[in-house]
C-alpha cells in the first residue's frame, strides 16, 4: 500500500511540474500579448490550472496516506515541506477558482495576478521537493 501511495505521490509531482512550468510560460506570454486572449488559449490555461489543482489534491491525499501508515518524524524539514505543500495547494486552488469564474464571465482573470499565483505555487513546489528529499534522506 505504501509503495502504491508513493507511486501516485510521484505521479502528482509530474502533474504539478507540468502544470507549473507550462502554466508559467503560458501566463507570461498571455501577459505580454495583452488584450483579449483567443478561446483556445483560455481553455488551455483552464486545463493546465485544473491539472495543477488536481495534482495538488492528490499530493495531499497520498501524503496523508503515507504518514498514516509510516513512522514519519515531524521535524523542521518535514514541516518546511508541508509549508511549501500548503502554498502549492492554496495557490492552485485560488487559480482554479479565478479561472472557473472567468470562464463563466467570458473574461480572463488579470494576467499579473495569475502570474503571481503561479510563481507562489512554483516557490512552494520547490520548497516541498527540496525539503521532502532532505527530510527523508
Residue 70 in contact with ligand HEM, rule: CB under 6 A: yes
60 and 89 Cβ atoms separated by less than 8 Å: yes
Backbone angles phi, psi at 34, to 5 degrees: 65, 180
Question: Grid coordinates standing for 33?
Answer: 500579448
Q: Least distance in Å: CB of 73 to ligand HEM?
A: 10
Q: Least distance in Å: CB of 123 to ligand HEM?
A: 11
9 and 77 Cβ atoms separated by less than 8 Å: no
Residue 125 in contact with ligand HEM, rule: CB under 6 A: yes
Residue 72 in contact with ligand HEM, rule: CB under 6 A: yes
Residue 112 in contact with ligand HEM, rule: CB under 6 A: no
Residue 99 in contact with ligand HEM, rule: CB under 6 A: no
Residue 13 in contact with ligand HEM, rule: CB under 6 A: yes
* Contacts (CB under 6 A) with ligand HEM, residues 19-58: none
Residue 116 in contact with ligand HEM, rule: CB under 6 A: no
Using CA atoms in the order 18, 24, 25, 29, what is the torsion angle rounded to 10 degrees? Answer: 150
Residue 11 in contact with ligand HEM, rule: CB under 6 A: no
| Residue 40, helix vs strand vs coil | helix
The residue to which cell 508513493 is assigned: 6
101 and 109 Cβ atoms separated by less than 8 Å: yes
Contact footprint for ligand HEM (CB under 6 A): 6, 9, 13, 16, 59-60, 63-64, 66-67, 70, 72, 82, 85, 88, 125, 128-129, 132-133, 136-137
Amino acid at each position: 500500500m505504501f509503495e502504491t501511495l508513493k507511486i501516485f505521490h510521484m505521479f502528482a509531482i509530474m502533474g504539478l511540474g507540468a502544470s507549473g512550468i507550462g502554466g508559467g510560460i503560458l501566463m507570461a506570454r498571455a501577459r505580454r500579448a495583452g488584450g483579449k486572449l483567443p478561446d483556445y488559449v483560455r481553455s488551455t490555461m483552464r486545463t493546465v490550472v485544473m491539472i495543477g489543482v488536481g495534482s495538488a489534491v492528490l499530493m495531499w491525499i497520498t501524503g496523508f496516506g503515507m504518514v498514516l501508515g509510516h513512522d514519519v518524524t515531524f521535524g523542521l524539514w518535514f514541516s518546511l515541506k508541508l509549508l511549501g505543500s500548503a502554498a502549492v495547494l492554496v495557490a492552485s486552488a485560488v487559480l482554479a477558482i479565478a479561472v472557473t469564474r472567468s470562464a463563466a464571465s467570458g473574461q480572463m482573470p488579470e494576467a499579473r495576478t495569475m502570474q503571481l499565483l503561479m510563481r507562489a505555487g512554483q516557490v512552494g513546489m520547490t520548497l516541498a521537493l527540496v525539503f521532502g528529499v532532505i527530510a527523508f534522506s
